[in-house]
């Protein structure tokens, strides 16, 4: 099978509850939302074509068994086969998705990052079947009103990530959390941008 890939690289996980662990990122090309605040707009392009064995060859040079499918939007492509391919090689496999496309794939970790732009597909910006299987939900906060967009039914951890590590937005989130304490809501900033690594 052929996959359109923007890049494959090893770094730490800079966002969410898994911050700080080393991960090999497989960034899939293409996105169905194209949010204005996206910090990986370069992944919207076509990317290069790879077969699964070519992807594995690039991943294996890092000598590490933890990979993350990210994008763009990974679920736009037929990633089930690639997921099974890596699981057979004893990899831990995670995914980050905007949640607009449902595929019943048993990833080791699922991060759903709903966007307002996703409301053209779903009421809450994401397919509600993810509410049972996702390990965390991550909302990029660009303004105070974004806090009203968050699906309050979610019981899993909810990450509130200020766009571009904005101090102004971070203070808005802190004020909100102080006034509306919620056990499963967390402020998290993008660690990789702070220490200036990919």
Question: What integer is the mean pLDDT of 30-40?
Answer: 94
CATH of domain 2-194: 3.20.20.70
Predicted TM-score (pTM) of the model is: 0.96
| Domain boundaries along the sequence of the chain | 2-194
Q: Is the Cα dihedral 3, 62, 107, 135 positive or negative?
A: negative
Q: What is the pLDDT of residue 46?
A: 85
Q: pLDDT tens for residues 135-164?
A: 999 999 999 999 999 999 999 999 999 999
Question: What integer is the mean pLDDT of 67-83?
Answer: 97
Q: pLDDT tens for residues 77-133?
A: 999 999 999 999 999 999 999 999 999 999 999 999 999 999 999 999 999 999 999
Q: What is the pLDDT of residue 197?
A: 87
Q: How far is CA 91 from CA 18, 62, 83, 145, in A?
A: 16, 13, 9, 39
CA distance 118 to 115: 5
CA distance 25 to 166: 25
């Amino acid at each position: 099978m052929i996959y359109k890939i923007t890049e494959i690289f090893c770094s730490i996980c800079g966002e969410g509850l898994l911050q700080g662990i080393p991960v090999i990122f497989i960034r899939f090309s293409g996105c169905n939302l194209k949010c204005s605040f996206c910090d990986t707009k370069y992944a919207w392009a076509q990317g290069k074509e790879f077969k699964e064995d070519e992807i594995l060859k690039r991943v294996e040079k890092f000598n590490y068994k933890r990979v993350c499918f990210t994008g763009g939007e990974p679920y736009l492509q037929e990633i089930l086969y690639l997921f099974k391919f890596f699981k057979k090689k004893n990899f831990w496999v995670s995914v980050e998705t905007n949640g607009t496309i449902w595929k019943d794939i048993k990833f080791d970790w699922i991060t759903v990052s709903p966007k307002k732009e996703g409301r053209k597909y779903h009421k809450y910006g994401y397919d509600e079947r993810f509410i049972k299987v996702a390990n965390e939900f991550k909302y990029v906060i660009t303004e105070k009103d974004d806090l009203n967009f968050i699906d309050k039914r979610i019981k899993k951890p909810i990450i509130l990530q200020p766009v571009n590590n904005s101090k102004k937005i971070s203070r808005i989130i802190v004020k909100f959390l102080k006034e509306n304490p919620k056990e499963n809501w967390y402020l998290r900033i993008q660690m990789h941008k702070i220490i200036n690594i990919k």
